[in-house]
Every structure is written in C-alpha cells, then in structure tokens.
Structure 1
C-alpha cells in the first residue's frame, strides 16, 4: 500500500504542494486539477475553480492543513520563517493566503514536508524516495 493511497484527495493535494515546496495558493488548484484529470482522462485539463469557489473551500482546506501540521507531516512558513500557532491560524483564515490575485496581492505562505513525513514514507516505501501519486 502506498502512503499516498492512504490520504484523502484534499490531504494528497496539500502533501503534493508541500513536497514541491510550493505556496498555499496552489493547493486548491492541485486538488481540482486532479479531479478534472480523473473526470476527463487527460492531464491537459486544468483546475476550473474560480476565486469565489476557492473562498468557499478555505475552511475545508484550512482544517486539512492544520491536521497535517498537527500530525507533523508538514510545516508552514512565510518569508522563510516558520509560523507560530497564532500566525498559522491567522494565515489559514486569510483568503490572501489561498487566492492568488493578478495584482500580486497575496501572501506567500509556503508548505514543506517534514522529517516525520520522510520517515513515514520510508517505512512504507523503503529507502527510495516516495513516488508522487499517479492518476
């Protein structure tokens, strides 16, 4: 069994974003793109989420991020500085952390995997790097 296979679709999107050391603004599009790919059978189909759609999903994904932080599988940083619990809560509640604006008015809240994720992955997959999930 793949460690990736034990994750929900939302957790998988967060963990892929963290593995890529990417911004929180990428999480929802990662999630929706993978849904679209499953629907169409083509990886050429991008996310179709609007900013309004993303705004409605913030609470759902904030809970997933917080859960993965609490498990110890991801860390959250802004400006290369780990966030305190209070800063994390504020960042997860702020739509500018989740929605990229054309004028650049968004926060660069970054996700990264932790040693605990690497250890869990090695326990399942052995010493090789855990493969990213396929469709």
Structure 2
C-alpha cells in the first residue's frame, strides 16, 4: 500500500512555524515505508524546489496539485484562503473582464504545466473542486493537452 502525504510548499496557512511543519512531516514519513507526496497547489516553483531538497524527496514521488478554477472571484478567494501568492502580472492581466480572466487563466495554467514539465515534474494532480464545467473548458482551450 502507498500512502500519499500532503506537502505545502508555501506552508499551511495554520502552520505554527516552519520548523514545526518540517518536524511533523519527517515524523509522518518515518511511520510509513512507501510514501508518495501531493502538494497543495502552488505557483511558486522556487518554494517547491526548496521543499523537495529540505525533505529529501524525489520528483518521481511527488504530484503537484493544481486546481482548475476559471471563475475569477472563486480563484482569488481560494488562493487567499490557502495562502498561495499569485504573481502580480497575473492579477493585473486579469483585472478587467470575466472573459479575459478565463483566457488568461487557461494560458497561465498551460505555461505553469509546461514549466513543470521542463523541470521534470511529471506528475500533476488536478483538483476539480467539483467544477467539472471549468475542467472541461480548460481541456478544450488547453494547448498542452492536445
């Protein structure tokens, strides 16, 4: 049996401290023999790489979590509640209209996935959040999935 443990590259919003978070994580790893990992979603590749190095895990053991949210208000509410920084250029480019947000979000996800692939992160876990319409729209507009 394989266990999938969550990791938080940007740290969990309710984390007391970085040291405590790493201590808890190492303790959980020591309990199980075969462990894979899944990230909370992140757009911060530097934090992701630092976490991998600190925790001494491999990219092949890791699935990068990515929610497909194409509703502007929900996207920013979700990223804020999860303590996920969104690049300022993305915020600025999606400021104007709902339609532009959908197009920019699809492009943003595509570029992020392409970058993950170039960095040899080959496992992605899409979080649908029961937003099947968003996932279908993303797939239809996606360049990488064609």
TM-score over 0.5 for the alignment?
Answer: no
- Rg comparison, structure with higher value: 2
Q: TM-score, normalised by structure 1?
A: 0.30
Q: Greater strand percent: which structure?
A: 2
Q: TM-score, normalised by structure 2?
A: 0.29
Q: Greater helix percent: which structure?
A: 1
Structure with the bigger RCO (C-alpha within 8 Å, sep 6+) is 1
